[in-house]
Structure 1
Amino acid sequence: MRFMKNSLKARMTAYFLLVSMTVVIGLAAASYRLSASRLEAMAIARFEVIAEYKQQEIDDFIAGQADTVTQLAALEELRAAGLALLAQRPGTAPYQSAYLKLANTLFNATYRGSWAVMATDLTDILLIELASGRVFFSTDPDDEGDLRQEALPAPGGRQDTEVRPVYRPPGTDKPRLTISAPLLDQEGEPYALMEAHIRLPILVEIVSRRAGMGQTGDSYLVDSGHRLVATAPFTRNDAAGEVHSVGIDSAVAGQNGAQHYIDYSGNPVIGSYRWLPGLGLALLTEIGTSEALQPATRLGGSILVLGMGSVLLLGIGIYLIARQIARPILAITATAHEIALGDLRQRAPVLAHDETGDLATNFNEMIDRLRDTLDLLSDEKQKSEQLLLNILPAPIAERLKRGEGTIADSFANVSIMFADIVNFTPLASLLPPTRLVELLNEIFTEFDRLCEIRGLEKIKTIGDAYMVVAGLPALRDDHARVVADMALDMLDAIEDFNRRHQLELMLRIGINSGPVVAGVIGTKKFIYDIWGDAVNIASRMESQGVTGRIQVSEATYAYLEPFYHFDDRGIISIRGKGEMRTWVLVGRKQRPD
């Protein structure tokens, strides 16, 4: 590194290397982008095909289950057994006989019929009376007697087999997929509804098959509530609660597509997403971006390595040539480089008594004068910056130093406080001017200290009045609370002051919150000030407040009410504003540990 600083020939070589490496890096980046774009398109097309295949498998499975439920509902023995059960009064011997017959008929139909293999994917079967919505038979006896009005079709609605989109029943967090079909009486009219619950792990198994999905590929289902339908073994689909990503949100909104986005776990992926309206589910198939674009990364890396090797060989040749060209002024160049880095103690060696020697001598004299000048400028700059920071906020001072001519900013939400020492004027007539100023300075110095601790912006003092604001020039959400804390601190400070000096000075404080305009006015003895109706109301809160108390406006009260105790002062007449409701801040509420 030191060799680079002291060698012109090394810098010449470095410039060549920099330009050459920029070209090589640009070529590698372009190659990566082109191949990555092509690979991304291929990955999207592949995962679209995978998603289409999975959707077809799901549709075939659901269609098979719907056909099974339809055939079960159409069985004459089952329909007759259901009518026989409804005809009996619960609790009687005939009812028990009819109940057992219905259960036996349903068992034989589901586990001994020709479609028994399909029926094994039904977890529960319920028979719901259309007239009342009551479950009069269920393979889970706990469901019997429940009312399932939501499962019944609307009057005059569909009377055929229907697949209900996935939902989560009240009282359980488990998703459920239901297929329903009507049971008909002897006249062919529906008298009950058969509702069958399908085993959702079958859908999860279909979706979770990893054929053609690579090492990081994944596929999963999300319901309309943005929640994973089920957790498949040995997958990363273990998120609890709602999950969100561009793909999930787009699919749940009913959109189909494929693109590059961040998945719900925070990983970049290339994914395909689609909405399955019949099931109320979003199907997503994704692969990690790094795996999908790995060939592009390898290609770009290979180009980068080969290009850098070629640049290195050329750099060696350039360095050997530059060494012969730049030798006479290398010493002066090295010294100039050190001085440019800030070391003004360096001296250029006089290696010859020719023009280069004269150049080195003059260069050293110039550095001596430059160092003296910079020392003086540094001292004056520190003094001027300290004075400027005592007048203006640091961000505003920086903007002025950058050359901004007019500084005026709008702030939507700030809190302004005016505080006035009520009985200071009568005290002024009893004390010598020097003592009066000492006391006032002691009070305002303590206020300034509190203001700095709280992070408020002091605007100005007018006589024995003190004005601060929170929320500018740096925005902050807790502007009202920090001003309220400052006001309470000021009351404590004035009490301490009175105890030390055996005085009875009192403060009258007013606070308001709202929008203001802040800026710098004047060209000589300039000041950072704020304007707006919110400032006027804050001033009225102080001037028409209560001695020894803190009066706040309704806008400030809305910010502070959850955290502080107040006394409602009611509606008072505010000069120039009319009637306003105000509160008196009493103190902080007890905060839990």
Structure 2
Amino acid sequence: MSEPAGSGLFRQTSLTGRLVRTYLLLSALTVLLVAAAAYEGGKEALRVQALARLETVAAQKENYLNLWVEDRKRDLALLTADLTLNGHLPSTLPPLESDPAALPEYARLSAFFTAAVEARPDISELLFLSPTGGRVLASSRPGGVGRFRTTYNFYLKGREGIALQSAYPSPDSLRPVMTVSMPVRGAKGELLGVLAEHLNLERLDAVIRDRAGLGETGETYLVDSFHTFVSAEIIGRNGGRNLHTPGIDRALSGSSGKGAYDNYAGVPVIGVYRWLPDYRMALLAEMSQAEAFDPARRLAGRIIAVGALAALALALGMRLLSRRLARPVLEVTRAAQAVADGDLSARAPVLTEDELGSLARAFNKMAEDIQTLYAQLNLQIMERTAILQHSHDGIAVADLKGDIHYVSPGMERLFGMKAHEITDIREWMAKTIPGDAERAAMLETWFRDAENPDPPERVVHFRDAGGESRWARLRMAHMPDGRLVLNAQDITVMKVSEARVRHMALHDPLTGLPNRQLFVDRLAQALKHSRRTGLPMALLYVDLDRFKAMNDTHGHQFGDAVLREAAKRLTACVRESDTVARIGGDEFVVVLGDLSDPANAAAVAAKIREALLAPDLPEGLYLAGASIGIAVSPRDGRDQDSLLSAADRAMYVVKRRGGNGYSFASAPAED
């Protein structure tokens, strides 16, 4: 390509010029973005690294503080033992009006304390307080003798056991101080006083302020709950009181964490802050952000410088290489058009090893991925078809006229028929729905649901090709093309289970006879039938004789076996249309309908009496007879309650006679 005369590198209108200008612009943006990303990434990495280092240092300082306090507690315990065992304590307490410092024995104790403090640089003052009132009786600082520390926390808790009063302002120097105290007890456990030691926090501060591992600007320091530095160096340099920074405020509010904020001197820092609840102090480890992020800034500067030089150099080379762009671009275009036309095997030749070659390879990879994806889609279609073929639920597709276009294998298995046998909904129902009325109702429901945009779920009772009774839950849905998809789920097992549950709810679990609930329904039906036909019906109230004694003597298992045997014999004494029910422990009732003569009930009662008197049964069982009361409707009652009450009274008449008999409610004489 020729350039227009007098045009510069960045003013030409040719493709080469446009490519070079575009490249330079993109290169500049890329370099800046890479530099910014490198700076931010490096900054974040340096932040994480610095915070990890600060957390390690803070943990070490906190551990040292814990060990240091524990050592001071042990020192105090040893000193207390020395006082009590070696007789350093005075034998009596001074009068309140006297000056303890003027008493020789307390003066000796103060001198002993002074020597102990000189030998222990971690202690700033030792003092002994009275058991009541908190009066200082002896101290390594004589000026404090005679003062009262009644309300001080270290005195109040020190009377009960070894205690630590966390950092608080000293009343003398207003500097933070910590105090360890413990009770001094006599041989009989009586409280002789409280021994306390004020800890020298400057010794602790020297370790806390050590900069090892924190760089040039890093530091660690303690702040008490009154927002005051526990450090003579910082107090002298910055005032050190009423301090508020985000790190200090969060720590003193009871939180521990880390972050970036301005420190007490207004310098942006990253820091770790910890709340030390046992000491009521905050421990902070901080490093200036300028020092922490300096490597990231230097890295970003180098990237910009190197990127700018590289971009200029490559721009010159690109002007020479751009002439070779046309052919590779055309080859990629040709291959792309072939793929668009459906030839997924089309590939672009890789003519160069530069960006255009990468473009061709990327296109080829994309075409290969599309071809692979197309193959995977075909495989998924095959898999979905296989899933459909092996699904236990049945699926069918039909049109609004009732013609069936597709039947899944699950549907074939459910109805026991092949797809070619299920081509029309009418033919299908003719083979599966028993009864003309049921079939007609089902067809009407089908066509009504087919016109419904949101048809309800249906439950269908049918017989499969083998004649077996089955149940299915049917769901119909409309397809976009107007056809219907029918899903059938086999619920035969569920229906059988429901029938079993209903039977259990209405029958006695021991004998299998109808229970009281079913008996009441059967009796109501028998009374209605009697009023409708005019034929009398009878109710027999049967109570097993001597069952309680039998049950108490032989046990419940024996009694249960007797009840089952009685139920079996009662059922054998009546017609299939009659009802035998168990309504209580040893109480049974018999409903006899369609009696031509009420006296026929006596024949049934006599038969029952004979069946229930069986003194010698297999496995040691026996039946001792039964008392039977007979009530006849409508003579003895027209409703359930009156009829049942009449039969019950008649049964008790037999009981009073000695049992093993029967009696009518309206005619007590036994037949």
TM-score normalised over the length of structure 2: 0.42
Larger radius of gyration: 2
TM-score normalised over the length of structure 1: 0.47
The higher relative CO (CA closer than 8 Å, separation ≥ 6) is in 1
